[in-house]
Structure 1
Amino acid sequence: MKIRLATPEDASACNDFYNQYYTDKRTLDQWRWEFCSSLYKGPMAPFVMVEDGGCVVGTQAMIPVPMIDGQGTFWTAKSEETLVDPHYRGKHLFAQMYELLFDYAKQNDIRAIWGFTPAERAFKRVGFAVPGATSQLFRPFSGRSVKILSDRYFVRKKRVQWSALKTMAGSLAGAGLSLVSSALNLSQRIVERRILLNGLHLKTLTDPPEDISELSVSFVKQWGGTTIFRSADYLRWRIFANPHVSAVVRAVYMNNQLLGWIIYALDDDSMGYIVDLMAISDSVDGLSAVAVIKILLIDAVKRLQKAGAVGVRAWHINDHPFGRSAAQLMKRMGFFLIRKGYQVVVYPHLETIERQSLNFFDNWYITRLYTQGLLG
């Protein structure tokens, strides 16, 4: 067997292995978008492949992700494409692939590797910490959304405890859901009046403004911790040029100052997803970031409902102050917090990472932003 870093010429073989493994139909263009469009140096993201007899039998990749904290920007990497042919399990291929990637990260100043997985034991064996797990915020518009959530995402994963969600469907489809919808409509009218009074402007972006990265700088100043550095180039790659999903980007401005945005998408089952959410306070007129979050959430939820969504899903990962504020608002809007999801893995162990902002996981603000699957 040969274990090596892949090149762009290996795209077809690596993508075929993925499609065979998952019985999927991912295109080469989609593979190249994921692994050959990175803003990082080199023609492609660090991607390890295992070959045996001319066939690919294992892959493990890292997608370089820029992040920002109070000290400035730096590089991390998202673990991706963790696949080993079932016939080759027990041969420690995962550990051997990560040996190459750990060396690459050290030589190229990648400060941390992070990801989400149901296979945390394998990651712990090679030195990853497991500081938490993803949770979900779920806002149903009908009982059908609960069935989709349960059948598609949880029964298939043998999490039978999720059958309790089906019990939720009847009550949500009745008076309880109507009351929440009425409250949301009232909140929308209040927000619309606030928009008129404060001179706010909501608009859909079809391309990121070149100065959009200033919002990430202001975000960490106001909220602390660290987050993905959302530069124009990064958003153009991950959102506007995404070949998998066409997402909607709604931004709020006051006096030509960008105060925040929300990114959302709709899948083939008519389930809505909040992909990203960012907001800061207005420095001149004193509009709070929490008010901006509320404006964006109500706008997205109502637009998704009008587009035919049966419900809306969002992430809640940790106790970062911004994520906590957004989650509290979502609960008041009828979202349910469901504490089930994938484990978060981080390498090296948090307390040994040189970048101080990374040492405590509640310092991290990570949204879907296409860091986990095609819709997140």
Structure 2
Amino acid sequence: MAITIRLLRDDEIQLANNFFNAIYQTNRPLVNFRWEFLEGPFGKAIYVVAIDDSVTDTIKIVGIQCAIPIELINGRGERVLTAKSEDTLVDPAYRGQKIFERMYDLLFEACRTAGIRYIWGFTPAKKAFERIGFAIPFATEQALLVLQPLAAYRYLKSLNEQNKTLDKIKILGLSYLSWFKGLKRLFGDHLTMTETPLSDKDRAFQRLYAGQDLFTLHETTAYLTWRLGHNPFGNHYRSYRSATGTFDALVNTRPNVGYIEQIFAPVKSPQHNGIRSLVDILHKQRVPLIRTFNFSSNDVLKAQGRQLSEAGFTYLKRGSYFVWKSLDDQERILPSQLLINRLFTQGNL
């Protein structure tokens, strides 16, 4: 059968979203598709589709893949256009026809034309991405601190309907272990924290990492409005800064869980004091547990991991893989230079 690989047309957006929902057996609303792929502050996503040309009475999509333009910035103010890989999916009935590889060939070409220098993302499919030239520089990690063991257990158990009895026992044990370890937060120093506007994040990064080669998301007002203000996943974001100005953080609450989304702080600062203060804030908001998204890919992120542990978090080295593809002859960014955090995801994790 003949398969055509091309860019998605505007009148096919509903078809692409329907394909995603059918394969994953989910119900992603079209408004979520538009938010994620069409309304981004650095341009709409480059969205590739595979079409089965043997079906003549309708347009039959059998594969999708896209890249969302995201600008990164370093401590010297240098900006680089990158893209986050998303919606990678091939109909199981069509596998074995190199559709995945062919879609990425077109995506790489379109990204180069658009001035995109790097493509990155998160996936459990390590080998598939390595085959098409992606590097796998590190894996994601996570940490959690439980404030209400039974409520945390019920929430964590609900994340996987396939959990067996032994799995549930392990989750219950983890919930109580994390709660017990988290009690150490009560005995350390805290920082005085003030809530700040969400629009201040770019300035905080530039101030705390001035002159450094670390790159993070370019959190312009347009980016934060899109990523935080218009995010459709039921998140509630708040920004906090210490009185000294050396600790700046973003947190997020949902009915059953809170997240520390992002921390900006120098490596040698007592981050655990600021983290304890964030835990106090989330505790007052009655969240049963707090989760974080972690990495050990540079000294700053390693320090954050250590200080989360010192503040009472239980550190888990379990997660997906971070993938990285360079389209840049100058190699301006290495993966180890990324000050990566949970905002690098699309916000529904």
Give the one of 341, 345, 348 matched to 1:371.
345
RMSD: 3.0
CA distance in 2, matches of 1:63, 1:26: 18
Counterpart contact for 2:137–2:324, Cα < 8 Å: yes
Q: 1:308 to 1:326 in 2, by over 3 A?
A: same
Q: What secondary structure sits across from 2:117 in the alignment?
A: strand
CA distance in 2, matches of 1:157, 1:110: 41
Q: Deviations over 1:228-282 (max 9, x none)?
A: 1212211111112212233222232659xx65532222345x12222222235xx
Q: 1:251 to 1:146 in 2, by over 3 A?
A: closer
Give the one of 270, 276, 281 matched to 2:262.
276
CA drift of 1:163 comes to: 6.9
Q: What secondary structure sits across from 2:223 in the alignment?
A: helix
Q: 1:213 to 1:85 in 2, by over 3 A?
A: same
- For residue 208 of structure 1, what is the aligned residue in structure 2? 199
Alignment TM-score, normalising by the size of structure 1: 0.80
Q: 1:144 to 1:8 in 2, by over 3 A?
A: farther
Q: What secondary structure sits across from 2:309 in the alignment?
A: helix
Alignment TM-score, normalising by the size of structure 2: 0.85
Q: What secondary structure sits across from 1:245 in the alignment?
A: coil
CA distance in 1, matches of 2:277, 2:230: 23
Counterpart contact for 1:249–1:261, Cα < 8 Å: no
- For residue 96 of structure 1, what is the aligned residue in structure 2? 102
CA distance in 2, matches of 1:28, 1:85: 20
1:133 aligns with 2:139: yes
Report the residue type matching 2:122 in the other structure: F
1:261 aligns with 2:248: yes
CA drift of 1:5 comes to: 1.1
- For residue 344 of structure 1, what is the aligned residue in structure 2? 322
CA drift of 1:107 comes to: 1.8
- For residue 321 of structure 1, what is the aligned residue in structure 2? 299
Counterpart contact for 2:63–2:91, Cα < 8 Å: yes
Give the one of 1, 9, 15 matched to 2:11.
9
Report the residue type matching 1:248 in the other structure: Y
- For residue 288 of structure 2, what is the aligned residue in structure 1? 310
What is the identity percentage for the equivalent residue pairs of Structure 1 and Structure 2? Answer: 26
Q: Which runs of 5+ in 2 are unaligned?
A: none
Q: Which runs of 5+ in 1 are unaligned?
A: 196-200, 281-287
- For residue 34 of structure 2, what is the aligned residue in structure 1? 32
Counterpart contact for 2:262–2:342, Cα < 8 Å: yes
CA distance in 1, matches of 2:117, 2:243: 36
Comparing 9-18 and 217-226, the one that deviates more? 217-226
1:245 aligns with 2:246: no
1:122 aligns with 2:100: no
